[in-house]
Amino acid sequence: METTPLPTGGIVVGVDGSESADRALAWAAQEAALDHRPLVLVHALGTLGTPGTVWLTEADELVQEMREHGGKLLADAAQDVTRRHPTVDVHTCVVTQDARQALLHLADDAQMIVIGSRGRGPIRSLVLGSVSAAVARHASCPVVVVRPHHPGTVRRGVLVGADGTAGSIPTLDFAYRQASIRGLPLTVMHCVWDVIAASTTAQVVPPGEPSTEDARLLLAESVAGMTEKYPDVYVTVEVGRGLPERCLGAASEQMDLVVVGRRHSGALSRALFGDVAHHLVEHARTVVALVPETS
């Protein structure tokens, strides 16, 4: 990691020159502008850029070329951000580390990490694959994965998966804040599995169905405090019938952003999170945010 001081509480985004990284950069820059936070652009050289790789022919020259290329890549990206968002404070950082290690290190002082769905470079799966999996599972701050999507699709705001527990409050708060700063409506969805779900496809349960009233009451209690904190956000509460990854995945096609939580409170919770998060990061046709939750 470079020793150049970087601001705390910033929006950190990985930059590698790929189309998907460019999408992530555009989203991160807009987030920094809307939330009035510094933007940190990071380019990881990977293990080839680590001093001591003497087995490479003319290693010093290669590393220097990689540093210069990374520096120019970041300088061009920073210039583009400044042109689009003049008020954003932009910082750049070239790191001699694997992308996973670099982003996880920066996560400790970041407001969020933003990554694209694919990358290129010494590690082909620079952003999706192993990097996104490691960062999303272990980062100490929220991780936003900018998935490929259809620009012409009419979307309906922010969708958040909630289970009504106290541990899910950080996820709800993140979703409410995103809806507030972006001026978007918010849909809060709780998913139930019952006898009917076992024989049907994932679906939204119509209001008034007696079998889901307890779930609706639980959701109403969960969002009560958030409604007072974010009075400007228009909220719809929905109950989905089916597996969470299926319900949220189906609804994601019409959303600007989908927010889910991440926990470390036992094998069952990790397994459930893994299914939901993995499905959305791999298949959602929109931006996905993964938020660390309390146990």
pLDDT, tens digit, 9 for 90 and up, residues 38-75: 999 999 887 654 555 545 555 677 777 888 888 999 99
pLDDT of residue 58: 57
pLDDT of residue 287: 94
Domains of the chain, with CATH numbers? 11-146 (3.40.50.620), 158-291 (3.40.50.12370)
> What does the alpha-carbon distance between residue 114 and residue 41 come to, in Å, rounded to a whole number?
10
* Percentage above 90 pLDDT, the chain: 42
pLDDT of residue 57: 54
pTM of this prediction? 0.86
Low-confidence ranges of the chain (pLDDT < 50): 1-3, 49, 54, 119-128, 265-273
pLDDT of residue 79: 96
